[in-house]
């Protein structure tokens, strides 16, 4: 597996654990999304949602898919929050790249070199990140960061890079990353069904799946 690294934790906002009951103990509803399982398909139905959550929701971005294969599919509807233009910022100082890239959609800061550490097992990837810091010539890093600031992204963060309308690699056109490999990239997220497995994202096609943590390719 290859290692994609992120630095910034993003505060999506906190949702209160207690919701006030409105209208004499009855919940007031608006825009609820009901998810139902039907013959293997997850359906989203427009219904109602609690007012108390409406102002603190975390809207999902578009997938990037723009080509439609049938009526009402993702490519046709293109639902979600629009991506900013440009999507990424190649961070630099005095016109020279400092080795990092900011995703203007999520606010996450990524290591520009997407193959700095090469193929690694899951644990080795976690360990390699610990010492990454400003001055790492191999990774081209000159951002003022210190050891301990960098980390392996979780599954959701890693998947946020995927453009469902692209392949080889499955990330948006015009991205400033270097050395993106057509391979699987580890996330820091362990698979809940088996602690010996962790989630990865396959950058050549956008597949999200699990693999044995001892796998390095």
Over residues 149-187, the pLDDT tens digits come to 999 999 999 999 999 999 999 999 999 999 999 999 999
Nearest to 102 by CA among 122, 88, 92, 83: 88
Q: Annotate the chain with three-state secondary structure.
A: CEECCECCCCCCCCCCCCCCCCCCCCCCECCCEEEEEECCEEEEEECCCEHHHHCCCCCCECCCCCCCCCCCCHHHHCCCECCCCCCEEEEEECCEEEEEEEECCCCCEEECECCCCCCCCHHHHHHHHHCCCCCCCCCCCCCCCCCCCCECCCHHHHHCCCCCCCCCCCCCCCCCCECCCCCEEEEEEECCCCCCEEEEEECCCCCEEEEECCCCC
106 closest CA partner among 65, 53, 158? 158
Query: 197 has which bridge partners?
Result: 212
Structure-token match 């934790």, residue found: 9
State pTM to two decimals.
0.77
Has residue 18 got a pLDDT over 90?
no
* Alpha-carbon span 105 to 127, nearest angstrom: 28
Least confident of 43-57, 73-87, 99-113, 177-191: 43-57
Q: Summarize pLDDT for 79-94 with one digit per residue, the tens.
A: 999 999 999 999 998 8
């Amino acid at each position: 597996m290859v290692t994609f690294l992120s630095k910034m934790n993003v505060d999506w906002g906190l949702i209160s654990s207690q919701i006030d009951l409105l209208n004499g103990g009855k919940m007031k509803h608006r825009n609820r999304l009901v998810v139902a399982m039907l013959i293997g398909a997850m359906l989203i139905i427009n219904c109602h949602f609690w007012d108390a959550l409406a102002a603190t929701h975390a809207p999902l971005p578009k997938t990037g898919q723009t080509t439609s294969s049938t009526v009402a599919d993702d490519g046709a509807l293109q639902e979600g929050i629009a991506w900013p233009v440009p999507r990424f910022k190649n961070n630099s100082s005095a016109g020279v790249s400092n080795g990092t890239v900011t995703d203007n959609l999520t606010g996450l800061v990524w290591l520009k070199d997407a193959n700095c550490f090469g193929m690694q097992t899951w644990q080795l990837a976690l360990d390699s990140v610990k010492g990454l810091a400003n001055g790492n010539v191999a990774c081209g890093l000159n951002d003022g960061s210190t050891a301990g600031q960098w980390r392996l992204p979780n599954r959701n963060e890693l998947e946020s890079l995927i453009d469902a309308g692209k392949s080889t690699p499955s990330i948006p056109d015009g991205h400033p990353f270097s050395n993106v490999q057509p391979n699987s990239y580890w996330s820091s997220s362990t698979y809940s069904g088996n602690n010996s497995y962790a989630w990865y994202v396959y950058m050549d096609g956008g597949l999200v799946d699990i693999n044995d943590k001892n796998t390095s390719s």
